[in-house]
Amino acid sequence: MNLQQSFYAQAPRHLVAVDCIIFGFEDSRLKLLIMQRMVDPFQGSFSLVGGFVLESESTADAATRVLQQVSGLRNIFMDQLHCYSDVNRDSGSRVISLAYYALIRVEEHDRKLAIQHGTQWLALDEIPELIFDHRKMIEDALFRLRDKAHFHPIGFELLPEKFTLSQLRSLYEEIYQRVLDKRNFRKKILAMNILEKLEEKDKTTSKKGAHLYRFDKQKYEQLAQKGFVFEI
């Protein structure tokens, strides 16, 4: 055995995993996709969706695979959050986890596939006790999401193609966990000039109905290049 082979052979071995904090927006609530663990330790307990990184994968490839397995969707917005490496974080073995947060449109994901993997959507205040450091991962992901919402229209990934201003405001209220002034929010979001007002109305809540909007992606990208901060 040469020096190079000896160097790698004597190196410690660790398991590498990915955990996915998957956000969705449904019934005016920001929700997370969680699952019941199928193996010990803590079989039957709730956890984030995740898995081990295969030898042929990067961590991003592994997270993409996991997301597709539980949602059936490709090209999901996904970003690496943090590396969690406390020695005793996983009581089953020495596991280093790379966490990714993702944003998906709930109405577009494959519900049958999700059920098959034992997952379910729960609002933030409905999340039960989770295994390991998964609660910390969610807290970190929410902090990152709130920061991102200052610079990017999060609704691109979470809202349906057509939505009301009330739905958009509800999304931001869920992200920031506080009530926003209706008139002030409307004034600021319309001033950004990234929404296209449609002739269609949503009449599910009243006979008069509320105008539907959709994002003008081209205008947003132009604004994003100049730089902006959306203070609410």
Same domain, 145 and 72: yes
In total, how many domains does the chain have?
2
Q: Are residues 23 and 80 in the same domain?
A: yes
One-letter amino acid identity for 122?
L
Q: Determine, yes or no, domain membership for 6.
A: no
Show contacts of 139-146: CB within 8 Å, 24+ apart. Answer: 140/81, 140/82, 140/99, 141/21, 141/23, 141/81, 141/99, 141/101, 142/175, 144/79, 144/81, 144/101, 145/23, 145/101, 145/175, 146/175, 146/176
The CATH number for 107's domain is 3.90.79.10
Assigned domain for 130 exists:
yes
Residue 220 sits in which domain range? 162-226
Q: What is the mean pLDDT of residues 51-66?
A: 97
In this predicted model, what pLDDT tens digit does every residue of 70-122 receive, in sequence order?
999 888 899 999 999 999 999 999 999 999 999 999 988 888 888 888 899 99
Does residue 46 belong to any structural domain of this protein?
yes
In the listed set 115, 149, 183, which residue is the last one of a domain according to the structure? 149
CATH number at residue 207: 1.10.10.10
On whether both 73 and 145 belong to a single domain, the answer is yes
Is residue 138 domain-shared with residue 81, that is, in the same domain? yes
Q: What is the pLDDT of residues 123-178, one digit of tens each?
A: 999 999 999 999 999 999 999 999 988 887 788 889 999 999 999 999 999 999 99
Q: Are 97 and 19 in contact (CB under 8 A)?
A: yes
Q: What is the pLDDT of residue 50?
A: 96
